[in-house]
Amino acid sequence: MTIFEKIATGEIPAKLVHEADDFIAFHDVSPQAPVHVLIVPRKCIPRVALAAAGDGELLGRMLLATRGIAQKLGVLESGYRLVINNGPDAGESVPHLHVHLLAGRQLHWPPG
């Protein structure tokens, strides 16, 4: 069981920002920006490259929820970045698909 599954079941506490039946959003414990939220499906999908066709609706709802999350956090107008890491070379550290919402400062390009 991944740390994200434990957070989703309430076994590990987290500062929730948004909660839906099939995904949650919470503040990252090691933020890389003033606003750093993780949007995580309750179902463990190891990474985006391993998502099945049937996961498309869930992933779409997660992405669409970012607008409301950004608005709640006061960064909708100033802007935010969404990041999905896929594999160790991309910086994936937990084998459970998650979307990073980063904001609250100027985010440079290229990112890495």
Q: Which residues are designated catalytic? A: 98
Omega into 110 within 30° of 0, i.e. cis? yes
Peptide bond into 13 cis (omega under 30): no
- Whether 97 contacts 22, CB under 8 Å: no
- What token pair was written down for 31? 């933020």
Query: Do the Cβ atoms of 80 and 35 come closer than 8 Å?
Result: yes
The answer to whether the CB of 103 falls within 8 A of the CB of 78 is: yes
Residue 43 φ then ψ, to 5°? -75, 135
